[in-house]
Structure 1
Amino acid sequence: MMKNKYAILQLTDLYLTCEQSKQIENEETFDLIAYFINKYHPDLCIFTGNQIWAEDQETGAKLYRRFLEFMNQFEVKIATTFGDKETCHGLTRTKLRQLEAKYSTSYAHKYCSSIANDKEAYIIKSPHQQIFVLDNGADGTIEEEHLVWLQEKLKHCGKHVAHRVLFMHRPIKAYDNVFVYIGEKKSAISYAAESERLFSVLREARNIDGIFCGHDYDNDFTFFHQGIGLNYGRVSGISLYSDLAPGARLIHLFPERSYTTCILDSDIETEEDAEEDLSAAELMEKIVGN
Structure 2
Amino acid sequence: MNNRHLTFHTDGTFKMVQFTDIHLQDGIEPERDARTLALMQRILETEQPDLVVFSGDLIYSVDTVDPKATFRRVIEVAVQAGTPFAVIYGNHDTEKGVTRAELQAILTEYELCVAEAGPEEIHGTGNYALPLYSHAGDRESAVLYFVDSGEYAPAAIGGYAWIHPNQVEWYSRESAKIRERNGGILPALAFMHIPIPEYNEVWQSGRVAGRKGEMVCCSKVNSGWFAAMLEAGDVMAAFAGHDHDNDYIGVLHGITLAYGRVTGHNTYGALQRGARVIQLLEGERRFETWIRLEDGSVM
TM-score by length of 2: 0.84
Q: How does 1:1-290 map to 2 (within 5 A)?
A: 2-18=10-26, 20-55=27-62, 59-102=66-109, 104-108=110-114, 110=116, 113-115=118-120, 116-127=122-133, 128-138=141-151, 139-159=160-180, 160=182, 161-177=185-201, 178-179=203-204, 180=206, 181-255=208-282, 256-267=284-295, 273-275=297-299
Gaps of 5+ in 1: 276-290
CA contact (8 A) 2:20 2:58 kept: yes
State the AA in 2 paired with 1:214: G
CA distance in 2 between counterparts of 1:37 and 1:206 reads: 32
CA distance in 2 between counterparts of 1:126 and 1:11 reads: 20
Deviations 1:122-158 (CA, angstroms, capped at 9, x unpaired): 0112233100000111133212221111111112224
State the AA in 2 paired with 1:213: A
CA distance in 1 between counterparts of 2:115 and 2:216 reads: 32
1:224 deviation in Å? 0.6
CA contact (8 A) 2:115 2:126 kept: no
Q: Secondary structure at the match of 1:29?
A: helix
CA distance in 2 between counterparts of 1:70 and 1:182 reads: 30
1:56 deviation in Å? 7.2
CA distance in 1 between counterparts of 2:63 and 2:252 reads: 40
State the AA in 2 paired with 1:171: P
CA distance in 1 between counterparts of 2:187 and 2:244 reads: 28
CA distance in 1 between counterparts of 2:108 and 2:266 reads: 27
Deviations 1:162-206 (CA, angstroms, capped at 9, x unpaired): 310000000001111113211111111111133351111011111
Q: Secondary structure at the match of 1:52?
A: coil
CA distance in 2 between counterparts of 1:99 and 1:248 reads: 24
Deviations 1:231-278 (CA, angstroms, capped at 9, x unpaired): 00000002222110001000011122211111112246xxxx112xxx
1:24 deviation in Å? 1.0
Structure (1/2) with the larger helix percentage:
1
Percent identical: 25
Gaps of 5+ in 2: 1-8, 134-140, 152-159
CA contact (8 A) 2:150 2:163 kept: yes
TM-score by length of 1: 0.87
1:68 deviation in Å? 2.8
CA distance in 2 between counterparts of 1:221 and 1:109 reads: 26
Q: Secondary structure at the match of 1:241?
A: coil
CA distance in 1 between counterparts of 2:63 and 2:115 reads: 29
The corresponding residue for 1:279 is none
